Amino acid sequence: MTRITLNVNGTDHAVEVEPRHSLVDALREQCGQTGSHIGCEHGVCGACTILVDDEPVRGCLMFAVQADGKKIRTIEGLAENGAFNALQQAFHEHHALQCGFCTPGMLMLATWIVERGAPVSDDELRDIMASNLCRCTGYRNILRAVRAVLDGTITRGAGA
Amino acid sequence: MKPASFKYVLVETWDAAAAALAEHGDDAVILAGGQSLVPVMNFRLAQPAVLVDVNPITDGAYLRVEGDVLRVGALTRHVRFEAPGIDGPLGRLFPRVAHHIAHLPIRMRGTFGGSLAHADPASEWCALARTLDAVMVVQNAKGERRIDAADYFRAALTTDLAEGEVLREIELPALGPDWRCGFAEFNRRAGDFAIVQSVAAIEVRDGRIADARIGVGGATETPQRSAAAKAVLAGGAPSATLFAEAGAAAADAMDDLLADQQAGADMRRDLVRAMVMRALEDAVAAG
């Protein structure tokens, strides 16, 4: 076992992991942060997408030991003072989730797109979000929700 | 699925990586971006006893033109090639090739050298390296060695890298302004592996093709150069008809085509024809 510190949404978690433990497993099982979902475990579905040092990462393809000391952000860190942030609100208003399994990964990937601050065409947005799979196939509403935040139509949450 | 247990070794220099490989021998594998290695570990198709994580190496990621050589650090992430910041035909080609590699978050982690070391038959960078006669600069605990692309790719997922050797740099020819480069790929879904792809580089002087390097990936276990297509193109004036003939010649000359549930050998042969033709058209159009 290896002792590491995972900084998750601003809180340090001193945990013991085996090198073979994926980052998303460590988040769920050692840090108790079960918001990030595990889908395919081979990098195809994107459900486990989290931000590591503000870049989107497949949590199943990074070992927890590789994230020692790095800044990790998950869906648990999105809400602001207990209320939805703008992206969560947009997903709510645009009905951008059905079963919700892909939602944590979709939201974190979208968070990166929004925070990047660069202009994003509809084609680029579709191209980037195509990284993550939604098996309810609710893609159009996911794109509408992210677009609403990018365009400033939705700027804040209305409360959970 | 979860990977089998392994020992994790973190290194900060190429020398340390080579030393770790020397210490652990055949049981050790380099971990770069991990976007291909970790999936096969999760499937337990690979069960390395030791992982040598080279990500902390600070001088491993670069694209640098030195004279007529373009040097690529093995740890250069795919995403870097979407805005390579270099002039010339390769600077224009790289973004078009890189965009075909999986999805953006994967491209932000996966590395050029990792792709070449993994040597998937469908790898875009392997096809490009073979087409352009790349030279792999590899290092072990005793020194370094240079391997020509023609000798480097041995079989699917198998390279000339020997026990204890780590791929440190890839040299590509910094093609001059007379060259035009193109790329074409066929796959079933956005971001999926290529079924067949082609890289085309032609040197056009006075309206004639003075030299040509035509490569095909995904069709066979290792990327191939097509001498048949080159023979058709040599001395000719670029045209849709000539490019169609080059594609047909490349397809006719292919041996040992792969066949799987995605595409049988006949379909792959036809895709070679179409991809070589389209890569040449792309070279002239975008070039």
What domains can you pick out in chain B, each with its CATH number? 7-53 (3.30.43.10), 63-173 (3.30.465.10), 179-286 (3.30.390.50)
End-to-end CA distance of chain A: 39
Report which of B77, B176, B74 is spatially closest to residue B132, judged by C-alpha positions. Answer: B176
Residues A60 and A101 in one domain: no
- Whether A56 and chain B come into contact, CB under 8 Å, resolves to yes
- 3-state DSSP assignment of residue B14: helix
Per-residue pLDDT band for B61 (boundaries 50, 70, 90) equals very high
Structural contact between residues B48 and B83, judged by C-beta atoms closer than 8 angstroms: no
Residues A90 and A68 in one domain: no
Mean local confidence (pLDDT), B253-259: 97
User: Taking 60 as the threshold, does the pLDDT of residue A160 lie above it?
Assistant: no
Per-residue pLDDT band for B67 (boundaries 50, 70, 90) equals very high
Residues A106 and A70 in one domain: no
Residues A73 and A12 in one domain: yes
Point out the domain boundary residue: A24, A44, A77: A77
Q: What integer pLDDT is reported at residue A115 of this predicted model?
A: 97
- Whether A118 and chain B come into contact, CB under 8 Å, resolves to no
Task: Write out the H or E segment, with its range, that includes residue B109.
Answer: helix B104-109
Separation CA B139–CA B118 (nearest Å): 16
Beta carbons within 10 angstroms of residue B39's beta carbon = 21
The tens digit of pLDDT for each residue in A1-31 reads 999 999 999 999 999 999 999 999 999 999 9
Separation CA A22–CA B283 (nearest Å): 42
Q: Minimal Cα distance from A42: which residue of B? A: B39
- Whether B104 and chain A come into contact, CB under 8 Å, resolves to yes
Residues A72 and A103 in one domain: no
The tens digit of pLDDT for each residue in A106-128 reads 999 999 999 999 999 999 999 99
Separation CA B13–CA A3 (nearest Å): 23
Point out the domain boundary residue: A29, A56, A77: A77
The tens digit of pLDDT for each residue in B10-50 reads 999 999 999 999 999 889 999 999 999 999 999 999 999 99
Q: Do the Cβ atoms of A61 and B35 come within 8 Å?
A: yes
Q: Which residues pair with B7 in a beta bridge?
A: B50
User: Taking 90 as the threshold, does the pLDDT of residue B286 lie above it?
Assistant: no
Residue A160 lies in a domain: no
Residue A156 lies in a domain: no
Question: Tokens for B59?
Answer: 């001088």
Separation CA B187–CA A145 (nearest Å): 29
Residue A155 lies in a domain: no
Number of domains in chain A: 2
- Whether A42 and chain B come into contact, CB under 8 Å, resolves to yes
Residue A54 lies in a domain: yes
Q: Which CATH number characterizes residue A8's domain?
A: 3.10.20.30
Q: Minimal Cα distance from A105: which residue of B? A: B105
Task: Write out the H or E segment, with its range, that includes residue B199.
Answer: strand B196-205
User: Taking 70 as the threshold, does the pLDDT of residue B287 lie above it?
Assistant: no
- Whether A62 and chain B come into contact, CB under 8 Å, resolves to yes
Q: What is the DSSP string of B41-60?
A: HHTTS---SEEEE-TT-TT-
Q: What integer pLDDT is reported at residue A159 of this predicted model?
A: 59
Residues A69 and A116 in one domain: no
Question: In terms of residue numbers, what domain contains A140?
Answer: 86-150
Question: Tokens for B105?
Answer: 């978050």
Residues A15 and A63 in one domain: yes
Nearest CA of chain A to the CA of B193: how many Å? 11
Q: Which CATH number characterizes residue A112's domain?
A: 1.10.150.120
Give rounded-to-5 percent helix, strand, coil for chain B.
35, 25, 35
Q: What integer pLDDT is reported at residue A103 of this predicted model?
A: 98
Residue A157 lies in a domain: no
Give rounded-to-5 percent helix, strand, coil for chain A.
35, 20, 45
User: B138 or B189: whose pLDDT is higher?
Assistant: B138
ipTM: 0.95
Q: Minimal Cα distance from B101: which residue of A? A: A131
Residues A71 and A111 in one domain: no
Type of residue at B173:
P
The tens digit of pLDDT for each residue in B68-122 reads 999 999 999 999 999 999 999 999 999 999 999 999 999 999 999 999 999 999 9
Per-residue pLDDT band for A47 (boundaries 50, 70, 90) equals very high
Residues A64 and A14 in one domain: yes
Residues A114 and A60 in one domain: no
Separation CA A47–CA B167 (nearest Å): 32
Point out the domain boundary residue: A46, A77, A108: A77
Residue A121 lies in a domain: yes
What is the separation of C-alpha A49 from the centre of its chain, rounded to a whole number of angstroms? 5
Residue A122 lies in a domain: yes
- Whether A2 and chain B come into contact, CB under 8 Å, resolves to yes
Q: Which residues contact B136 (CB under 8 A, 6 or more apart)?
A: B116, B129, B146, B147, B149, B152, B160, B161, B167, B169, B170
Residue A11 lies in a domain: yes
Q: Which residues pair with A56 in a beta bridge?
A: A51
Question: Tokens for B140?
Answer: 């072990």
Q: Which chain A residues contact residue B8 at CB under 8 A? A: 2, 19, 63, 65
Residues A71 and A102 in one domain: no
Type of residue at A112:
W
Residues A66 and A97 in one domain: no
Report which of A93, A85, A96, A98 is spatially closest to residue A157, judged by C-alpha positions. Answer: A85
